Structure 1
């Protein structure tokens, strides 16, 4: 028995030595809560929801030291619904992100796979919908993708090292259509800055054939075939009528400044759905657009205060104004309280109110349409969320 134990110990030490320069970590977030809305399709809603402050997930990340300051790396991240056990991101097993690549201290990081675009990377973190206010607080319809509703498939991505507080990066997604290099193509670039109390970033995103390449990039989507099928755009009337656009373009900027326990932040985005009526298919053009573009300005200001080490208070306001083919306007206010029971567990309460006016993407009078909810039957909608989040 002593000899057997000695052999096993020797083997174990050898394996540990062989993999001493590698690491793999399991991580995740489980987030669930109760929601109430005063008007969802004309009715009050009492329900439960998974992934409010952050999407529920589990993932694996790993690195291998190749020497000379170079590492191989990978990430595999699954999204799921804690209430039902269903896969998130339209049925993809690793729908949040999955990629592999190389990282150099001097040259930066290059990765291949399903990844986040530069608007998300460099400006999304400044939007309160990606912080304390919950995903319901996204800019209407998450039209600028600031809270990462959509990921990018088939993507090559580069992120630079940090130089004096600055870093930059870009992403390119190949459409993969024979003989049509630009079809379904996505590309984005961004720059970020972080030094002391100041953080800022800008990002640009350009998406060809967004109904298929951006909104239809998961397992349950209507795929782009010789006979195009129905819309993959969300039910939100803010943008649901624009699935026939040839291009979606987003220009975004954001920043935050911290003084003491307080942080003020702001974001701005300009989103355009260009050449409406270009992409043909059943249900893609219910209003009959034959050209032109739908455009939006969206501006958000926010304030958060760390009242105690355990208690965070937040308030924000967003104004989204449509122009071009339609003129819908959305006023949205957000309030939130987040209490940390420990470094890994917190409880929260958030409220989002939205008021709509003008004409929306469907050509009808705009109704309130808070992110993740079925549109209201009126111009007003409110949602309240109370939940718990645990990180591991």
Structure 2
């Protein structure tokens, strides 16, 4: 009897309160493999790498039913590099995502914290850059439009996501600088909308950064959240896709305008890239980049797929007209519902950029920059979701 009472007491002491309509889920994705690059800072290379197509992450997400169609929701997600175990976002405990909010069936969802922007949420999924059949390697030059696979995460954000109404979803966001006396320095805001009905998907959005990289704020450089150091960065984008049978085809356009550009920050190497435009060795002036993408995927069988994308990027910088051509091919085979292997190749070449500036060097996303105007990457990889 005493033993039974002791067991009951211990069980009660360590019991965790639970609700039938509440849940906490541990999840993750691992992407790793071997990659060959024809030129990284002047040298051919073979590397074991992580997160070349999709972010390698683990996280916790949960909901609590508050009644009357209202839920509390949260997500804590950490990105890491599998090959050495280091953080993908240096110094951040939950660098990929860290937010909490309220979700209403009728009125939509409001979340607060470190999150992906509205452009990445709604427009990115209609491009090759976000999807597993392309991913980060296929990003547009310098990831200039934030459409790649979750490479830029924004701090201090309040985001609103509407309910789906006849296929239409609307998002808006504002990310605070959190600086006393400098409200507009290193802040960000944007809005986007998507429409999905049957095989047709459409999306469009706008995103703006003010003084990204200026110390702490919405997009600091300390954890690689800022790709460009500029007084102002504005991005417009439109994308669409259509599915018929086992095939999907899509198109996308984005326009990125950087005013008073100070430099380019390479997420792949974590190194600030200077330039030779003036005596200070840094970029100056304004940079405009228009990205035109066509993409497609075809399922040869339920397990085996092939995909490809081509992006032409037309630029303008201080009287010059740099132009980038980026092509991607991938084939993937699913070993199970959660595990697949893939072979992907990306080639980029640039012409017309100012000689000696960082714009004249090809740089496939996640890799170090080439010392020339071209770069080729070939990767064989393994992905596992849990």
| TM-score, structure 2 normalization | 0.88
- Provide the C-alpha distance between the structure 1 equivalents of 2:16 and 2:371, rounded to a whole number of angstroms: 63
- Provide the C-alpha distance between the structure 1 equivalents of 2:226 and 2:127, rounded to a whole number of angstroms: 22
Residue 369 of structure 1 corresponds to: 363
Aligned-residue Cα RMSD (Å) equals 2.7
Residue 348 of structure 2 corresponds to: 354
User: Deviations for 1:4-53, whole angstroms, at most 9, x for unmatched residues?
Assistant: 498469959x966x522321000001111000011112211101101122
- Provide the C-alpha distance between the structure 2 equivalents of 1:209 and 1:365, rounded to a whole number of angstroms: 20
- Provide the C-alpha distance between the structure 2 equivalents of 1:136 and 1:97, rounded to a whole number of angstroms: 21
**Does structure 1 retain, via aligned residues, the 8 Å contact 2:155–2:219?**
no
Matched, 1:265 2:250: yes
Match among 138, 150, 175 for residue 173 of structure 1? 175
User: Deviations for 1:189-228, whole angstroms, at most 9, x for unmatched residues?
Assistant: 0001111001111111010001234652545x7xxxxxxx
Query: Which secondary structure state, in structure 1, belongs to the residue aligned with residue 90 of structure 2?
Result: helix
Residue 228 of structure 1 corresponds to: none
Residue 372 of structure 2 corresponds to: 378
- Provide the C-alpha distance between the structure 2 equivalents of 1:99 and 1:168, rounded to a whole number of angstroms: 19
Residue 224 of structure 1 corresponds to: none
- Provide the C-alpha distance between the structure 2 equivalents of 1:40 and 1:15, rounded to a whole number of angstroms: 52
Note the C-alpha offset of 1:93.
1.4
Superposed, 1:189-228 pairs within 5 Å as: 189-212=191-214, 213=217, 216=220, 218-219=222-223
Q: Tell me: CA distance 1:373–1:364, structure 2 relative to 1, closer, same or farther (3 Å).
A: closer
Q: Gapped runs of 5+ residues in structure 2? A: 264-271
Superposed, 1:179-328 pairs within 5 Å as: 179-212=181-214, 213=217, 216=220, 218-219=222-223, 243=229, 245-276=230-261, 287-288=277-278, 292-325=285-318, 326-328=320-322
- Provide the C-alpha distance between the structure 2 equivalents of 1:258 and 1:217, rounded to a whole number of angstroms: 39
Note the C-alpha offset of 1:275.
3.1
Residue 339 of structure 2 corresponds to: 345
User: Deviations for 1:54-93, whole angstroms, at most 9, x for unmatched residues?
Assistant: 1111000011100000000110000011000101112311
Query: Which secondary structure state, in structure 2, belongs to the residue aligned with residue 246 of structure 1?
Result: strand
- Provide the C-alpha distance between the structure 1 equivalents of 2:289 and 2:306, rounded to a whole number of angstroms: 29
Q: State how many pairs are aligned.
A: 369
Query: Which secondary structure state, in structure 2, belongs to the residue aligned with residue 354 of structure 1?
Result: strand
Q: Tell me: CA distance 1:371–1:361, structure 2 relative to 1, closer, same or farther (3 Å).
A: farther
- Provide the C-alpha distance between the structure 1 equivalents of 2:342 and 2:363, rounded to a whole number of angstroms: 23
Q: Tell me: CA distance 1:24–1:217, structure 2 relative to 1, closer, same or farther (3 Å).
A: farther
| TM-score, structure 1 normalization | 0.87
Q: Gapped runs of 5+ residues in structure 1? A: 222-231, 235-241
Q: Tell me: CA distance 1:20–1:364, structure 2 relative to 1, closer, same or farther (3 Å).
A: closer
Residue 67 of structure 2 corresponds to: 67
